[in-house]
Amino acid sequence: MADSYLDALNLVRQNTPLVQCLTNSVVMQFTANVLLAAGASPAMVDTPAESEAFAQVASGVLINAGTPSAEQYQGMRNAIDGANKAGTPWVLDPVAVGGLAERTLFVEGVVDKHPAAIRGNASEIVALAGLGAGGRGVDATDSVEGALTAGSLLAKRTGAVVAVSGAEDLIVSAGRVTWLRSGHPMLQQVIGTGCSLGALTAAYLGATKDLDRHDEVLAAHAHVGAAGQVAATKASSPGSFAVAFLDALYEVTADDIAQLVETREA
């Protein structure tokens, strides 16, 4: 894994992947700033009239069902169609799936349309696999360990790399399971860190198409986790942490990440 994620970080910064973000209104600005700090280029193109065409020229696409309108649902469907036509990798973030009927129907309707990755918390992944009812809003009530079966089922069913975020992240693909220990609890006190991780995952997938997708998804999570650890050494409250986190995404090196995170294959 080491060589793969070293290559992935450098390729993101060299290639400046263009990431189309169809995401929730609460996190748009923060997500754009995360992508810029990491070395990618954000584009918040989510209208039905434009999203399909843009997905065909983007490097990667994020589909985040956080605060959707009827128009954005259609924009997301169109973007997925465009991405699949062009072979653009797209990432599904099933925010609060299971707890609300409309978004659950939407996510269930697109999950089999060949996402390159699915990223969520444990309760979202468990609900999407049909093994639970979802969490408490956007907060998980299931453990990451308890989402292993759900993640494996989703990976087998969809062909996607499935990432489950928590105190220890879980990355699952067909025939492979990786645990990643990184990050800091303060990441949970800043809105948008999880949603922006979905966008960064799309950036890594779009910039590093010659690498194994499992390692690309793992590398995105390692980048965020390491940046969170660095930020926590410079800030003690959420406001200053958010700024320090963006700085760390920009400044952290591949060698820094290798020293800060721990991975194990299961």
Confidence class of residue 100 from pLDDT cuts 50, 70 and 90? confident
Report the pLDDT averaged over residues 39-59.
Answer: 98
C-beta atoms surrounding 73 within 10 Å: 19
- Specify the CATH number of the domain 2-256: 3.40.1190.20
* 44 annotated as a binding-site residue: yes
Q: What is the pLDDT of residue 4?
A: 65
* Cβ–Cβ under 8 Å, residues 161 and 170: no
Whether 242 has a pLDDT exceeding 50, the answer reads: yes
- Whole-model pTM over 0.85: yes
Hey, is 179 helix, strand or coil?
Answer: strand
| pLDDT one-digit tens code per residue, 162-212 | 999 988 999 999 989 999 999 999 999 999 999 999 999 999 999 987 789
* 165 annotated as a binding-site residue: yes
| pLDDT one-digit tens code per residue, 110-162 | 999 999 999 999 989 999 998 865 544 445 566 888 899 999 999 999 999 99
Q: What is the pLDDT of residue 138?
A: 47
Domain boundary assignment for the chain:
2-256
Q: Provide the mean pLDDT of the chain.
A: 92
* 136 annotated as a binding-site residue: no
- Name 80's Cβ contacts closer than 8 Å, sequence gap at least 6: 55, 61, 63, 90, 110, 113
